[in-house]
Amino acid sequence: MSEHTPHHEVLRDPADFSLVLGGPLFQALRRAHLSDNELHLVGQRIGVIALFCWLPLLVLSALQGNLLQGRLAVPFLYDFEAHGRFLVVVPLLIIAELIVHQRMRVLVKQFVERKLIPAGAMERFNAAIDSALRLRNSTAAEVLLLAVVYGVGVQLIWRQYTALDANTWYSTASADGSQLTLAGVWLGYVSLPVFQFLLLRWYFRLFIWMRFLWQVSRIELVLSPIHPDRLGGLGFLAGTTFAFMPLLLAHGALLAGNLANRILYLGAPLLSFKYEIIALVIVLLAVVLVPLLVFAPRLAEVKRTGLLEYGALAQHYAQEFDSKWLRGGAPANESLLGSPDIQSLSDLNNSLQIIAGMRVAPITRDTLIRLAAAIVAPLSPLVLTMMPLEELISRLVKILF
């Protein structure tokens, strides 16, 4: 969609609001017939991008005799990190685009259809939409991401912190320092930049998402303290976090590949990385869930006001009920049995219970558990480096039964 699409067109078709349908890369994929307007053709994108990153590494490693065990500590076919990064993580990053697009495309429409935006604030709401779309479509942003990838991601982070300090298929030690092999050159200047660009592009989209929600939260939303979702009517936002599960799985798989190499080839025990695993879980949960906390102040205010207002209403009604039915105020011909006053009192009590149970953030324990499980699931095979499979199964059986 063009940056200049009118506001009413954005709201008419919820598919127009998307975190992923935009930017130079998206347009390039469309021209290359690797995507359409709805991000279909996922298999083609995965095949082309993943093989573009991975297949030359296989061929160049074979040409230099670095495929199998021999003089190298880590030959190409035994590099779990490389295979995981390009054959698992890259596909997950691509799949995540389609899932996020499909699951979150109705977000804008929900705010409008639920009448959460007051009429006087529609201009501000539309401005937030336009601002998000301009950032999403920004050419300058993606050029900056490429600069960061080549200036920091490859030259600093990979070569200084994540590359193994051993003879591998991508680099060998010499008197002049570490030297890249032919496969290492392709890895450092083609494959890794593609991977890191896709990853940074996702972080940029998450920034757009958080910024959009923050701008919407500044609007005086029409929230109801007695809404059954116990979130004032914002309960639909809770489900958006699960759209990011493929992204969380990708990060778990990325860490799993890195740790597998260090455990198997450098002899490091799995438990020595427990703090890295915990940190990853905490950071990723924060990345996905913190954007929803921008509504917490408004929800807390709605809850406080609701307790006061409905509490006063309940007090007034209870006094009248007491006066009518216990102090002789009821007409002689009116029976208490079947009186609508009883049902009204019960309804009012239910409303107060809903307000008292109202949450100030669309985050639940179930959400935390499911998202954390998605992060650590790719790491679970590494437990086999600590004990044989038979022993692991035996312990699980004892725990479960």
CA distance 195 to 207: 19
* Confidence (pLDDT) at 267: 81
CA dihedral (313, 315, 321, 322) in degrees, to 10, reads -170
Answer whether residue 366 shows pLDDT above 50.
yes
CA distance 125 to 111: 10
CB under 8 Å to 44, separation ≥6 — which residues? 33, 34
Q: Is the model's pTM score more than 0.85?
A: no
Q: Across all residues in the chain, what is the average pLDDT?
A: 83
Q: Are 265 and 164 in contact (CB under 8 A)?
A: yes
Q: Are 49 and 90 in contact (CB under 8 A)?
A: yes
* Confidence (pLDDT) at 215: 93
Structure tokens at 171: 């680099």
Answer whether residue 149 shows pLDDT above 60.
yes
CB under 8 Å to 148, separation ≥6 — which residues? 200
* Confidence (pLDDT) at 8: 41
* Confidence (pLDDT) at 88: 94
Answer whether residue 346 shows pLDDT above 60.
yes
CA distance 59 to 161: 26
CA distance 223 to 118: 10
What's the helix, strand, coil split of the chain in %, to 5? 70, 0, 25
Answer whether residue 65 shows pLDDT above 50.
yes
Mean per-residue pLDDT, 222-247 = 89
Question: What band does 336 get if pLDDT is binned at 50, 70 and 90?
Answer: low
* Confidence (pLDDT) at 4: 45
Question: What band does 193 get if pLDDT is binned at 50, 70 and 90?
Answer: very high
Closest by Cα among 307, 274, 292 to 371: 292
Give pLDDT tens digits for 1-25.
Answer: 444 444 444 344 444 678 888 889 9
Q: Are 7 and 130 in contact (CB under 8 A)?
A: yes
* Confidence (pLDDT) at 108: 76
Give pLDDT tens digits for 262-296.
Answer: 888 778 888 888 899 999 999 999 999 999 999 99
CA distance 395 to 276: 25
- Count of alpha carbons within 13 Å of 395, Cβ hemisphere only? 9
Answer whether residue 400 shows pLDDT above 60.
no
Is residue 341 exposed (0-12), middle (13-18) or buried (19+ Cβ within 10 Å)? middle
Question: What band does 381 get if pLDDT is binned at 50, 70 and 90?
Answer: confident
CA distance 186 to 235: 47
* Confidence (pLDDT) at 347: 81
The fraction of the chain above a pLDDT of 70, given in percent, is 83
Give pLDDT tens digits for 296-324.
Answer: 999 999 999 999 998 888 888 888 877 87
CB under 8 Å to 351, separation ≥6 — which residues? 226, 310
The domain spans of the chain are: 7-222
* Confidence (pLDDT) at 12: 42
Rg (CA), the chain: 28
